[in-house]
């Protein structure tokens, strides 16, 4: 009897050992190839949506194990590639961001205790969120040429360390504009819907501080697995050509290169205004988070980390850039004949930018507070009983009335009162941002 028990124990141990040895987050049943890369790109274009993390099922029909996750910008970039790898049961690996030349792969055993691949995949992705960041993206990707063959759905855009931001590319519209999906995370109570925009990021902001290959900013794509431990310049398709384009012309030159047809004047204005509107809406939730924290903390001064978390200098800069993009497009359209602009769009634009023939500063000096009316676009409620349209948001933004300081309460953050508040003045502040209206010309 003892012998039989021993035998059972031995067999069980052997089975467990073999099972442990084979355990992975998911078992690979395919390998990456050029065809698989095409399939990846098509999958991203078709399925990578801003509501992806709210879906009950994956496009394949299986339950969505990633439902409910909240992502920052780097999480979003990695999720796009990891989830596709999981769905197709392809190998996934990144270079260990904590140093050395080892890989973190879906063959890791940390999640062996979990019963299903779906649960392991979710745990793996969540673990990755704590490991990766915009700092690790250059290790796992490579810079590509700004061309129709290189820039594809599934690639990404990275900024320099100054602004440490990234976007996934869902698609390149036939007018040469990237359809971008990016982070959901603003704070603890933010939405799980990802953000999206159909416009070029401001090249000056993307390459701020380092418009060279070593800044790592611009368009990038995923390194094939076999190149993760190889020098980046050996990756097929590696190109630093995009750094020869002036940062200020990156978007216009990029659109010219990537477009298959020219965009109509009115359509462009509507699209750019839509992108600015998205930025405005996102500011509402970001400011709400900060104000709520300030109230919950009883108006206590913040330490550096908390201040950094709830301040909005980058976000406000992006909103300014988006508004400046609309203005520049409207000024250009007006110079070439306002009759080309749809009558309704023209009225909406004139409400936001009443003097397209003047400089941005001259226009601002003559611009009064804009009430919400029939020509208002993007009416957004930012606080109880308080709404704002894009015209008034532009006036306040260009006037420097919108505060990015988390030590300011709602009225100061939105420019009903002039920042800094007495509380903000009494506490230490760190990096904040103020607009230079001349940059909107």
Partner 1 sequence: MSMRQTSRALLLIVGVLLAWFTLREKAPAPGSSPVTASSSDLPHLSLSPTPTPPLAPPTLSPNAFITEFKKCFPNSETSPHSPDEWLLQAEQNGEIESRQLTLQNLHRRDSSGLERRMQIAPTETQAEIREFDVDEEGLPTPLATPLVIPLEQVNQVRDDFLRQGEKIYEQRKENLRFKNGLHGVVEWENQKTRDLQIFNGQRGFYCRSNECTCKGIR
Q: Which is nearer to partner 1, 70 or 327 (CB)?
A: 70
Please, what sign has the CA dihedral across residues 440, 435, 312, 191?
negative
d(CA 27, CA 89): 6
113 CB-contact burial (10 Å; exposed 0-12 / middle 13-18 / buried 19+): exposed
From the CB of 213, what's the least distance to partner 1, in Å?
Answer: 6
Q: Which is nearer to partner 1, 103 or 270 (CB)?
A: 103
Q: Which is nearer to partner 1, 47 or 229 (CB)?
A: 229
From the CB of 370, what's the least distance to partner 1, in Å?
Answer: 35
Q: Which is nearer to partner 1, 31 or 101 (CB)?
A: 101
The β-bridge relationship of strands 195-198 and 380-383 is unpaired
Helices (H), 232-366: 250-258, 265-296, 304-310, 313-335, 343-352, 360-365
Which residues of the chain form contacts with partner 1 (CB under 8 A)? 3-4, 6-7, 10-11, 13-14, 17-18, 20-21, 96-102, 104, 108-110, 127, 130-131, 133, 135, 145, 161-162, 164, 209-210, 212-215, 230-233, 238-241, 244, 304-305, 308-309, 430-431
Q: Which is nearer to partner 1, 305 or 374 (CB)?
A: 305
Question: How far, CA to CA in Å, does 183 sit from each of 79, 162, 191, 279?
Answer: 11, 18, 10, 13
Q: Which is nearer to partner 1, 31 or 98 (CB)?
A: 98
Q: Nearest to residue 338, comparing CAs of 325, 355, 313? A: 355
Q: Which is nearer to partner 1, 21 or 374 (CB)?
A: 21
Asked whether 380 and 372 are in contact (CB, 8 A), the reply is no
From the CB of 252, what's the least distance to partner 1, in Å?
Answer: 22
d(CA 224, CA 92): 10
From the CB of 2, what's the least distance to partner 1, in Å?
Answer: 10
From the CB of 357, what's the least distance to partner 1, in Å?
Answer: 38
81 CB-contact burial (10 Å; exposed 0-12 / middle 13-18 / buried 19+): buried
Q: Which is nearer to partner 1, 43 or 111 (CB)?
A: 111
* Coil, strand or helix at 340: helix
Q: Which is nearer to partner 1, 29 or 98 (CB)?
A: 98
Give the DSSP per-residue string, 111-155: TTTSSSHHHHHHHHHHHHHHH--TTTHHHHEEE--SSTTT--TT-
Torsion angles phi and psi, residue 32, rounded to 5? -70, 140
From the CB of 319, what's the least distance to partner 1, in Å?
Answer: 21
21 Cβ neighbours under 8 A, 6+ residues apart: none
From the CB of 93, what's the least distance to partner 1, in Å?
Answer: 12
From the CB of 131, what's the least distance to partner 1, in Å?
Answer: 6
From the CB of 98, what's the least distance to partner 1, in Å?
Answer: 4
d(CA 271, CA 196): 12
């Amino acid at each position: 009897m003892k012998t039989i028990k021993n035998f059972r124990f031995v067999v069980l141990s052997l089975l467990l050992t073999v099972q442990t040895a084979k355990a992975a987050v998911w078992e690979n049943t395919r390998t990456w190839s050029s065809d698989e890369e095409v399939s990846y790109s098509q999958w991203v274009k078709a399925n990578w949506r801003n509501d992806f993390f709210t879906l009950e099922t994956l496009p394949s029909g299986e339950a969505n194990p990633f439902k409910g996750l909240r992502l920052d910008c780097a999480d979003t970039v990695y999720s796009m590639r990891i989830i596709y790898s999981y769905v197709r049961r392809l190998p996934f690996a990144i270079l260990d961001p904590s140093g050395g030349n080892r890989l973190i792969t879906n063959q890791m055993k940390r999640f062996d205790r979990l019963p299903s691949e779906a649960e392991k995949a979710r745990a793996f992705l969540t673990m990755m969120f704590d490991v990766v960041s915009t700092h690790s993206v250059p290790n796992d990707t490579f810079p590509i040429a700004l061309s129709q063959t290189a820039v594809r759905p599934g690639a990404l855009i990275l900024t320099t360390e100054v602004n440490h931001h990234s976007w996934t590319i869902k698609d390149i519209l036939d007018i040469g504009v990237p359809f971008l999906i990016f982070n959901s995370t603003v704070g603890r109570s933010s939405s799980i819907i990802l953000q999206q925009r159909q416009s070029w990021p401001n090249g000056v902001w993307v390459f701020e501080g380092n418009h060279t290959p070593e800044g790592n900013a611009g368009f990038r794509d995923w390194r094939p697995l076999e190149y993760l431990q190889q020098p980046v310049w050996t990756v097929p398709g590696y190109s630093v050509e995009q750094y020869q384009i002036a940062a200020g012309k990156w978007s216009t030159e990029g659109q010219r290169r990537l477009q298959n047809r020219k965009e109509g004047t009115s359509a462009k204005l509507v699209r750019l205004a839509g992108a600015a509107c998205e930025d405005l809406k996102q500011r509402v939730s970001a400011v709400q988070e900060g104000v709520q924290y300030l109230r919950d903390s009883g108006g206590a001064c913040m330490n550096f980390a908390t201040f950094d978390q709830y301040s909005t200098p980058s976000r406000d800069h992006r909103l300014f850039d988006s508004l400046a993009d609309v203005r520049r497009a409207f000024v250009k359209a007006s110079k070439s004949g306002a009759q080309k602009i749809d009558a309704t769009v023209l009225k909406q634009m004139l409400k936001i930018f009443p003097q397209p023939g003047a400089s941005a500063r001259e226009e601002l000096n003559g611009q009064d507070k804009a009430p919400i009316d029939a020509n208002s676009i993007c009416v957004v409620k930012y606080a109880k009983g308080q709404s704002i349209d894009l015209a008034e948001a532009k006036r306040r933004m260009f006037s420097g009335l919108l505060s990015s300081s988390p030590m300011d309460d709602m009225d100061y953050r939105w420019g009903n009162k002039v920042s800094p508040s007495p509380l903000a003045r009494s506490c230490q502040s760190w990096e904040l941002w103020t607009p230079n209206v001349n940059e909107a010309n």
